[in-house]
Amino acid sequence: WTLLDLFIVLIMAAAIGKLWHWGWGVLTLATMILIYHEAYPSHWVLLNIIAAIALLRVLPVLGWFSRTVRFYRNISLIYLLIIALPFMMQQVRQSIYPQLEHPSKALEGHPSKALEGYEIERNLLNRKRRLESSKASPIPPYQHIPAEEWKLGLKSQQMLRIDPNAQVQTGPGLPQWKWRSITMAWSGPTLQNQSIHLWLLSPTVNSILSGVRVILVAILAVFLLWVSWGTGSRLLFKPKASTVPLLLVGVLLSLPLISQAETSPNQAPIAEIGEMDKLDKLSFNAFPPQSLLDELQKRLLAPPDCLPHCASSPRLQLELDNNHLTARMEIHSLTSTAVPLPGVAKQWLPQQVLLNGEPAQALLRQKNGQIWLNVTKGIHQVQLAGTLPKRHTVQLPLPLKPHFVEIKATGWRVEGVHENGIADEQLQFTREQGESLAELEMGNLPPFVQIERTLLLGLEWQIETRVVRKTPKGSAIVLEIPLLKGESVTSENVRVEDGKALINLSPQKSETGWISVFEKQNTISLTAPDNTVRSEVWRLDASAIWHVEIEGIPVVHHQAEGRWLPQWRPWPGETLTLHLSRPKGVTGQVLTIDRSQLIVSPGQRSTDSQLLLKLRSSRGLQHKIKLPENAQLQTVKINGKSKPIRQEGQFVTLPIVPGEQKIELRFQQAIGMSQYFYTPSVELGIDSVNTHIEVKMPKERWILFTGGKAIGPAVMIWGILIVIILASVGLGQISLTPLKTHHWLLLGVVLSQVHVTLMLCVVAWFMALGWR
């Protein structure tokens, strides 16, 4: 309520009390208090009627202005009837069935569309399962991912997995119905200990108030009609001239439909005369055309189909001494092509290149220091020789990676060659002790990397490790990285020796990594290396099933990707200890029915029923549903697929799998439609929320009464009949027509199936005949 609302109500009550009697003013005051916020435009219509009646009391009877005001009053009274009758019908219905307070609003979707929604959800669920099955694959090896886009795709799946043996509670079902929402706001600050109290009217009181509203509105409307069209009303409406009172029932608004002709897509374009002239100017001597020449040039310059695998090296032999390196390389080529040779300018370059025992003639050195050799089709022997730089470490890239490498080294330690002769992308030669390092040349900066370990503690423990280069690119990095206790590398491209991962980063590669399985243990200890070659970053991604207690250095970053992901950046020699335990789950409900719907279709001799269930389960189990007596099970579908499930007496045992699923049961009863019909009773075994019962009645049946819960079905005809009875009593007192109360009542019952507006049109037509 606002001050304007109170002012309007008081003005209306005072005006009617002043014009007629104070009793009518009190009646108007009580009526407006009850209907002011229920029927919005009624108070403005009443204000116009009161103002018109008050003006007619002081205006001369035969003036043109009086006729205008009288016509305006009559139009307002007709409009009052148009809005009062539907309002009274709605109030009577609401008095009988409180759930009809908002007739156009459903509690939770329309029940008749439940089957359609069920089919849509079932199709979406099947499509989702097909996509998941097509994407299911073993854990792939580590792939290169930029640091700024590093996201552990594996952990997002592992952390959300639920232990199949755990008693995970599904909780109670949540109601999905909605009704009236009330927003409360305060103009000033409030304290935490302040409280408010709400006074709510019970459904019984609301039903009584709805009936009182109908009675008061009817009395007030009859009073205004009587004082306006009562005795002497024929003097007010003179049937002269050819004017017939026009009853404005409604305004039909239509929007013109603009159709625009579309051009047929099959209509061929018409060539212009100018284009035909261009064809005539073509010279037949200009052959071959430029398009043909371009096509021939493209074919001649096209690269061979074997690229980039036109050449390979099955074998490489290396011989090293203190100062020299000799390489013998066998190359097989499918076509004439250029192949890269081992070495690079910043590390080692050959001073002599022999191709099949003769000096190579076709050599190319790129800006990055890489040497290329042109070879013809066939098998070739390439020999490289050169002096080693005076460095402690020399790296030899292998751009054309040979299948087998054999090395004879004197005074050097070789890294990058496996026991089976397979080499990495580059080799590293380190001088053994014995030669003075002071005499060696200055080389590149020593390698420095950052090792990022992420502990993935879910149902299965895993570790994701990243090795990120921190020094500039241009030189290869070969390292031995110790593994954690209980860690076993599963990535196929990482070698492990003596509990260490052998890492080989090419000169242009910035990072690498691997995935490992981790042995479950109560305590995990991490210690940062005390050297100048690498630093470490530790992350912990623990599932909710684990309780973690941290001991040691503090966390530098707590959250990432919207969840708890602690991170540590230890200094050399610092230690972190994690104590882990798995709390036991609390026993509870593992099956929840979120929605249940029973669709009943009664026939002449039998009744078909359909039961739709939407449920959630945290584990696989058997669930029993009890059907009505003498019910015969027809079909059972789970997630849209038919299941061969038999009925055992009145019970049907359903196989429930973990997750969300839709279940559909169809059964039949040898009970047909009768004068009293009861819906079958199905025992679901556990409590259910969002329960719906839909009865598809035959077209030849009329529903007179329904029973059940308070918020249930409503018979709409009774609200209309009560208003028709009240209106028939009033119309029977009017002498304009020969129709009596029972005549109007019979006519109203016949017209009860049409809209209220059409009913008013029929009444107005009879009144117009009476005036005539």
Would you say residue 459 has pLDDT above 80? Answer: yes
For residue 192, is pLDDT > 50? yes
The more confidently predicted of residues 385 and 131 is 385
pLDDT at 236 over 70: no
What does the pLDDT read at residue 155?
A: 52
Question: Comparing 114-128, 158-172, 628-642, which segment has the lowest mean pLDDT?
Answer: 114-128
What string of DSSP letters covers 26-48? HHHHHHHHHHTTTSTTHHHHHHH
Mean local confidence (pLDDT), 62-83 = 80
CB 372 within 8 A of CB 341: yes
Peptide bond into 189 cis (omega under 30): no
130: confidence class by pLDDT, cuts 50, 70, 90? low
**CA distances (Å), 29 to each of 24, 42, 86, 211, 417, in order?**
9, 13, 22, 17, 102
Query: In 10 A of CB 156, how many CB atoms?
Result: 13
Q: What confidence category does residue 107 fall into, taking pLDDT thresholds of 50, 70 and 90?
A: low
Q: Is the pLDDT of residue 152 over 50?
A: no
Which strands make up the sheet holding 371-375, listed edge to edge?
A: 337-340, 371-375, 363-365
Q: Rounded mean pLDDT of 351-364?
A: 88
Residue 683 has pLDDT above 60, yes or no: yes
Residue 296's pLDDT is 79
What's the whole-number mean pLDDT along residues 654-683?
89
> What was the pLDDT predicted at 255?
31
* Residue range 311-433, CATH number: 2.60.40
Report pLDDT for 105. 61
Report pLDDT digits (tens) over 319-339.
988 888 899 999 999 888 888
Of 390, 475, 389, 388, the residue nearest 437 (C-alpha): 390
User: Do 473 and 510 meet the contact criterion of CB atoms below 8 Å apart?
Assistant: yes
Residue 382 φ then ψ, to 5°: -115, 130
Judge residue 286's burial from the number of C-beta atoms within 10 Å of its C-beta, 0-12 exposed, 13-18 middle, 19 or more buried.
exposed
pLDDT tens readout for residues 214-233 = 888 888 888 888 887 764 44
Positive or negative, the CA dihedral 225, 226, 227, 228 is positive
pLDDT of residue 137: 40
Q: What is the mean pLDDT of residues 699-705?
A: 80
pLDDT range class, residue 515, cuts 50, 70, 90: very high
Residue 479 has pLDDT above 80, yes or no: yes
Look at residue 709 in the predicted model and tell me its pLDDT: 72
Q: Does domain 591-695 have CATH number 2.60.40.1730?
A: yes
Strand order in the sheet with 563-568: 487-489, 511-518, 461-469, 449-457, 534-542, 563-568, 557-560
Residue 221, token pair as written in the block: 């409307």
pLDDT band at 750 (very low <50, low <70, confident <90, very high): confident
Decide: 456 and 464 in contact? Cβ < 8 Å. yes
Model confidence band, residue 710 (pLDDT cutoffs 50, 70, 90): low
Three-class secondary structure of residue 227 per DSSP? helix
Residue type (1 letter), 564: W
pLDDT value at 523 more than 90: yes
More confident residue, 171 or 354: 354
With contact defined as beta carbons under 8 Å apart, do 607 and 601 qualify?
yes
Q: Calculate mean pLDDT across residues 698-703.
A: 81
Digit-coded pLDDT (tens) for 560-577:
777 788 999 999 889 999
The average pLDDT across 721-733 equals 80
Q: Which DSSP state fits 688?
A: B
In the predicted model, what is the mean pLDDT of residues 485-507? 86
Distance (Å) of CA 323 to CA 387, 390, 438: 6, 8, 16
> Predicted confidence band at 626 (pLDDT cuts at 50, 70, 90)?
very high
pLDDT of residue 453: 93
Beta-ladder partners of 641: 638
Do 659 and 615 form a contact (C-beta atoms < 8 A)?
Answer: no
Residue 611 backbone zone (phi > 0: left; psi -120 to 50: alpha; other: beta) = beta
- Looking at the chain, the whole-number percentage of residues with pLDDT higher than 70 is 82
- CA torsion 737→743→748→750, rounded to 10°? -120
Element (H, E) at 273: helix 273-280
Q: What integer pLDDT is reported at residue 664 of this predicted model?
A: 93
Other Cβ atoms closer than 10 A to 716: 16
Give the Cα separation of 735 and 109 in Å (integer): 49
Closest CA to 611 of 663, 651, 673: 663
Listed ranges 86-95, 235-244, 585-594; the one with the highest mean pLDDT? 585-594
Q: Looking at this protein, which amino acid is placed at residue 72?
A: Y
Tokens 């439609």 sit on residue: 673
pLDDT digits (tens, 9 = 90+) for 252-294: 322 332 233 333 333 333 333 344 344 344 444 566 788 878 8
Question: Taking the alpha carbons of 396, 402, 404, 408 in that order, is the dihedral positive or negative?
Answer: negative
**In the chain, pLDDT over 90 holds for what percent of residues?**
15
Least confident of 132-141, 282-291, 654-663: 132-141
Check whether 437 has a pLDDT greater than 50: no
Residue 440 pLDDT more than 60? no
C-beta of residue 413 within 8 angstroms of C-beta of residue 385: no
- Predicted confidence (pLDDT) at residue 3 exceeds the cutoff of 90: no
For residue 187 the two structure tokens come to 């103009």
Q: Are strands 511-518 and 487-489 parallel, antiparallel or unpaired?
A: antiparallel
Structure tokens at 120: 């849509």
Q: How confident is the model at residue 438 (pLDDT cuts 50, 70, 90)?
A: very low
pLDDT score, position 502 = 86
Q: For 701, what's the count of Cα atoms within 13 Å in the CB-facing half-sphere?
A: 17
Identify the pLDDT of residue 287: 66
What is the structure's pLDDT at 215?
86
Tell whether the model's pLDDT for residue 376 goes beyond 80. yes
**0.85 exceeded by pTM:** no
